[in-house]
């Protein structure tokens, strides 16, 4: 191979498959990230294929098997109404990760936690870019507004929002978005303050580009790494928040298979020798949140190593 051919090969644009493989190579280079990915994929796949993994409906009641332990008929046992716990867990994972019920006969792809974080990202990124790039009075107004929101304890803010608008899947999405917006905006603002000093931003300004073009086309793509990792962590926080709201009676309304509500209902029977109804949803929340945290931590470590 001649020097000219070698030089030409260096400048060949990689294919979409090569770019995708390079991104996944970063993921699989971290054992922590792989463990987290396996845990998250377990719950995602269980949620997607829930009708194939259990013959029971999450709301079907068997009054002959109330508060029963794991058995051949019910692999994880039943709750106080005789509902199969495995069915309620995987259908509950659907609401968290896979589908968002909107009304009685309509749903959106993507679970409650996913939509809540996505909406928070949309608002937080916009506010953070405006504050970090535009500066001046815009930055002052945005930051003071966000500081006022962050002055409230997180759980108290969740309770205020849900108590004001009512408990439903869409309202939980709204609460997750509102509570998560200040942290996202502050992260994006700090990234924008650093990136706006780069030479390519100056070049875009000299070309006369619109400020919104500079914010969303020049700054945002170069800040996507930390934002994506932070978003993964926030999905875990959102799942934990959903469990807390359900435990307090402010989560998804019954008969939804809400993990927090399952823990709240099952804890009454722990001392009577039937801990299963509280144990399994608690482990579900813990494993999913830990899996997301491991995935985010592994990606963060690998991304820092490749910088």
* Element containing residue 83 per DSSP (H, E): none
Angle, in degrees to the nearest 10, between helices 169-195 and 224-247: 150
Instruction: Look up the CATH number of the domain holding residue 152.
Output: 1.10.3720.10
Whether residue 27 is contained in a domain is answered as no
Whether residue 32 is contained in a domain is answered as no
Whether residue 33 is contained in a domain is answered as no
Whether residue 159 is contained in a domain is answered as yes
pLDDT of residue 121: 94
pLDDT of residue 25: 66
Residues 6+ apart with CB under 8 A from 291: 35, 36, 37, 38, 39, 40, 42, 43
The residue behind tokens 């108290």 is 156
Whether residue 25 is contained in a domain is answered as no
Structural domain including 206 reads: 52-306
Given CA atoms 257, 261, 263, 266 in this order, what sign does their dihedral have? negative
C-alpha distances in angstroms, 221 versus 73, 126, 180?
Answer: 51, 13, 21
The whole-angstrom separation of Cα 195 and Cα 211 is: 14
The DSSP symbol for 95 reads: I
Taking only Cα atoms into account, the Rg of the chain, rounded to an integer number of angstroms, comes to 23
User: 3-state DSSP call for residue 100?
Assistant: strand
How does residue 39 score in pLDDT terms, banded at 50, 70 and 90? very high
Question: What percentage of the chain exceeds 70 in pLDDT?
Answer: 86
Whether residue 1 is contained in a domain is answered as no
Q: How many domains does the chain have?
A: 1
pLDDT of residue 104: 60
pLDDT of residue 9: 52
Question: What percentage of the chain exceeds 90 in pLDDT?
Answer: 31
How does residue 109 score in pLDDT terms, banded at 50, 70 and 90? confident
Whether residue 18 is contained in a domain is answered as no
């Amino acid at each position: 191979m001649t020097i000219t051919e070698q030089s030409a090969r260096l400048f060949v644009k990689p294919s979409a498959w090569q770019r995708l493989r390079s991104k996944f190579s970063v993921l699989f280079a971290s054992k922590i990230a792989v463990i987290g990915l396996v845990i998250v994929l377990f719950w995602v796949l269980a949620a997607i294929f829930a009708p194939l993994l259990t013959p029971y409906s999450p709301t079907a009641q068997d009054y002959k098997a109330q508060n029963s332990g794991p058995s051949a008929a019910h692999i994880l046992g039943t709750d106080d109404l005789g509902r199969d716990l495995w069915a309620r867990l995987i259908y509950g994972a659907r609401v968290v990760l896979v589908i968002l019920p909107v009304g009685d006969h309509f749903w959106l792809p993507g679970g409650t936690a996913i939509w809540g974080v996505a909406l928070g990202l949309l608002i937080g990124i916009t506010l953070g870019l405006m504050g970090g790039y535009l500066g001046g009075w815009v930055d002052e107004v945005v930051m003071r507004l966000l500081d006022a929101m962050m002055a409230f304890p997180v759980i108290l803010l969740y309770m205020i929002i849900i108590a004001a608008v009512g408990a439903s899947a869409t309202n939980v999405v709204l609460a997750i978005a509102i509570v998560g917006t200040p942290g996202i905006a502050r992260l994006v603002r700090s990234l924008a303050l650093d990136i706006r000093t780069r030479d390519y931003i100056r070049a875009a300004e000299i070309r006369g580009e619109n400020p919104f073009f500079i914010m969303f086309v020049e700054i945002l793509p170069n800040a996507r790494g930390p934002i994506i990792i932070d978003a993964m962590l926030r999905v875990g926080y959102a799942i934990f928040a959903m469990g807390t709201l359900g435990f307090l009676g402010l989560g998804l309304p019954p008969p939804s298979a809400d993990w927090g509500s399952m823990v709240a209902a099952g804890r009454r029977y722990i001392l009577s020798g039937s801990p299963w109804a509280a144990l399994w949803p608690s482990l579900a929340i813990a494993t999913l949140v830990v899996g997301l945290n491991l995935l985010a931590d592994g990606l963060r470590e690998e991304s820092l190593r490749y910088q």
